Each structure stands twice: as C-alpha cells, then as structure tokens.
Amino acid sequence: MSTGHDLVIGLLIFTVAGIAMSLGALIFGSIVRTRLPHPEKGAPYECGEPTIGTSWVQFDLRFYVVALVFLIFDIEVALFYPWAVVYAEAGVPALWDMLFFFGVIVVGFLYLWRFGYLDWVRATGLHDRTTRVRADDAMGRAARQWI
C-alpha cells in the first residue's frame, strides 16, 4: 500500500478509537452510578443561585460587546507571536503589514471608546445633569460625614 492509504487508515483508526473510548466511558458511567432522582436535582440554576422569574429575559447587550472586544484583542495578541518569530526573516514589509493590522484594530477600538460602547454605565439623557449637591441638603450632610 502507498503512504497515502496508510495515512487515511491511521486517521480512521484514530477517529474510531476516540469515539469508542468516549462512548465507552459514558456507557460505563451510566451503568456504575447510582440513580437517586430528586426534584431539587432537576431544577435549573445559574452558578449555584436559584432562578428567579422566567429565563426568557432580555440579555444586556453590553456583555456581548465586551466579549467581542475581548475576543478581537485576544486574537490580535495571538497573531503577534508568530509575526514576531518570523520578523527577522521577513524584514520591513512584515513590519508594515503588522502596523496596518494593528492600525485597523486600534481604529475599531477608538470608535468603540469614542461612542461610549466601552463604558459600562452609559448616560441615557433622562437624568437632569444640572443637579448639584448642596451643603444643606441630606446628600450634602452625608457627603460631609465621609470627609
């Protein structure tokens, strides 16, 4: 047989063995473990906290934005390492390529920063911004208490 066939057969054996071991562990675990059903075990929870209300709530979009920004910069940092390894061989063109790549990321970051997408608490414009704390009201007395 040729080396191409040997490679395919080896990969096939590896895949079948991996699936067999995974299914074998699951089947063995289902046979060995005890079954003690309880309504408390079947109740959904989040991080050990009991659920309050329905699970169909509007998810705050800021979590999604923060996750995407983290993912973008995480990938950027991961791409800097291979570039740094081959920089000596590639020379100045590689530097310009990486500066362009980094510039695109920075422009996106500055856009998010400028329009307040990175601020966790955003001003909504509903509150009166001219309100000041006076020394003689309750808020002023409370503030002086901490000074």
In DSSP notation, 46-103 reads ETTEEP-S-S--PPPHHHHHHHHHHHHHHHHHHHHHHHHHHHHHH-HHHHHHHHHHHH
Pairing of strands 45-46, 49-50: antiparallel
Q: For position 29, what pLDDT does the model report?
A: 94
Residue with the bigger pLDDT between 15 and 47: it is: 15
Domain containing 78 — which CATH number?
A: 1.20.58.1610
Tokens of residue 50, six digits:
């009991």
Q: For position 55, what pLDDT does the model report?
A: 66
* 39 pLDDT higher than 80: yes
Number of domains in the chain: 1
Give the phi and the psi of residue 102 in degrees, each rounded to 5. -65, -35
pLDDT tier, 44 (very low <50, low <70, confident <90, very high otherwise): confident
Q: For position 14, what pLDDT does the model report?
A: 97
Examine residue 129 and state whether it is found in any structural domain, yes or no: no
* 129 pLDDT higher than 80: no
Mean pLDDT of 46-50: 69
Examine residue 83 and state whether it is found in any structural domain, yes or no: yes
Contact status, residue 122 vs residue 116, Cβ threshold 8 Å: yes
Mean pLDDT of 94-111: 88
Examine residue 27 and state whether it is found in any structural domain, yes or no: yes
Examine residue 140 and state whether it is found in any structural domain, yes or no: no
Q: For position 95, what pLDDT does the model report?
A: 87
* 58 pLDDT higher than 90: no
Is pTM beyond 0.85 here?
no
Q: Which domain holds residue 98?
A: 3-114
Examine residue 85 and state whether it is found in any structural domain, yes or no: yes
As a dihedral over the C-alpha atoms of residue 59, residue 61, residue 64, residue 65, rounded to 10 degrees, the angle is -170
